[in-house]
Chain A
Amino acid sequence: MAELDGNKIKVRIESVDFYYEDFKALEDISIDIESNRVTALIGPSGCGKSTVLRLMNRMHEVMGKTRLKGKVTLDDQDIYAPGVDVVELRSRIGEIFQKPNPFPKSIYDNVAFGPRLQGRKSRSELDGIVEKALKQAALWKEVKNKLNTSALELSGGQQQRLCIARTLAVEPEVILMDEPCSALDPVATQQIEDTMEVLKENYTIIIVTHNMQQAARVSEYTGFMLIQETGEPGKLVEFGPTSKIFTMPDKKETENYITGRFG
């Protein structure tokens, strides 16, 4: 792993408490996400990792009544400030979900979907965008001769890379990945991990994963989250360079979790 000299902070989560209605899901979360890095969030189920992810593109707002105390910024701009355009925010911060969820359309139309919504309609421009996105997602070679076939005919791993291409097509700055490989076989998982390695040259990636070895392999920074007991809010126990977290974590709880002396 290369030496970390501290890239610019892309996303800053500052002293955030977060509530679903009256339930406090997160307490006092502060994380600085560096640009052009892969940052992983690990921790047991229900510890709030995915909630932290969704704070960053305000996706939790589609799930009902939520409340946030504290501050989340993207390039130093408060994303919860009044007047922030959530649609624009979500085009800057894309998300890849646990299960590949391509639209029941052609491969081409899946990738062109976002750009078309943004009003980019010329065929030649869309052709360029589709090719570039599929190349970045390391899928181009496999699909270039069948762009008009249904996305649903692709394998699971190809579908997930298609979803990455669909996200890339709207040119986001940050990509959130919520367990992106949990439905994939080891080969497809390796392809996604290789893709992440290339993508971080141009994007900032935050990944939530249950697979600690995956976090160790792909990320430069790792955050470990935990809830003390059911019903308690999730907290960030430790955050630091991945190589340090996996060789000499500072906190006992982190050590117990990653070495399997937990639960």
Chain B
Amino acid sequence: MTRQSFHDGLKMLNEEILRMGSLVVEAVDLSTQALLKGDRAQANSVIAGDEDINELNLRIEGQCLALQAQQQPVARDLRLLHTCLLVSLHLERIGDLAVNIAKIAKRLERTEGSEPFMDLLRKMSAQSLEVLRRGIQAFADRDTELAKSLETLDEPIDDMYKEILGRLLHPKGEEEAAASTEWATHIALASRYIERIADQVVDMGARIDFLVTGHLDGQYFDIERFGE
């Protein structure tokens, strides 16, 4: 009584998540590059490309629903469907954050005194992209250790985000103090979006742990507590 077509369906779902993952990695990479270089064309291509990510997310959601309705998945199959649905949603939101970053890339004016901020954004972007890559790798390999390490990797990003906000509120020197409110708002938002990307990945990591072990946030997911 092996259920070949069902298990083929699950395999396909898994592959679609990975495909969505690589599209999202590309979107984050391109949008942060566009931000740092002030490349409007590249920013536009990220915005246009988000449609594919959204469509894939809908497809994955539809497949999850159909498989649940038709196949009565249990145990690791049920956990996989549940995880795919949530991971897909996290990835879709990361795609939206990349769009937000791309929109700022189109509007951000380079001014004198922006270099220290751009330097922090560059470091944040690189670290967020690394966290995202590892998160997707952890899903692909069902690697709970890697999934758990994401939280630690996220910490420097949070620190840099706070540093940017602190410097915007308490500018150093005349150049920084002369920055316009519009410019400061763009920098604050861009850093916020980059920081949120890594947060989404950390939450995704918790789902990967659940997929493999049935634990959520390090605790046995006691389903009895969440019954009727």
Contacts and interface: CB of A to CB of B under 8 A. Distances in A.
A255 B76 contact: yes
B77 interface: yes
Interface string B190-228: 000000000000000000000001100000010111011
Q: Chain B CB within 10 Å — which of A1, A216, A246, A247 has the most?
A: A247
What is the interface of chain A mostly: helix, strand, loop, or mixed? loop
Interface in A245-262: 246-249, 254-255, 258-262
B74 A212 contact: yes
Contacts of A261: 2-3, 7
A1 B228 contact: yes
In the A-B complex, list the 9 residue pairs whose CB atoms are closest, starting with the nearest.
A248-B214, A260-B3, A1-B227, A246-B74, A243-B223, A255-B75, A258-B74, A259-B77, A3-B224
A243 B74 CA distance: 10
A224 B2 CA distance: 18
A254 to B, nearest CB: 8
Nearest to A257: B1
B6 A246 contact: no
6 contacts: A216-B72, A241-B223, A243-B223, A246-B75, A254-B75, A262-B2
A157 to B, nearest CB: 22
A263 B2 CA distance: 7
A3 B77 CA distance: 24
B106 interface: no
Contact of A3 (B3, B76, B227): B227
B1 A262 contact: yes
Nearest to A244: B223
A262 B1 CA distance: 6
B142 to A, nearest CB: 14
Given A260-B6, A262-B2, A247 B227 contact: no
B31 to A, nearest CB: 38
Interface in B63-85: 72-79
Contact of A248 (B1, B7, B79): B79
A168 to B, nearest CB: 26
A118 interface: no
Contacts of A213: 72
A259 B74 contact: yes
A213 B1 CA distance: 15
A254 B75 CA distance: 9
B78 A246 contact: yes
B174 to A, nearest CB: 61
A3 B222 CA distance: 10
Contacts of A187: none
B1 A260 contact: yes
A255 B227 CA distance: 22
A62 interface: no
Given A246-B75, A255-B76, A261-B2, 16 more contacts: A1-B228, A2-B228, A3-B224, A3-B225, A3-B227, A4-B224, A212-B74, A216-B74, A244-B223, A247-B74, A247-B79, A258-B74, A259-B3, A259-B77, A260-B2, A260-B7
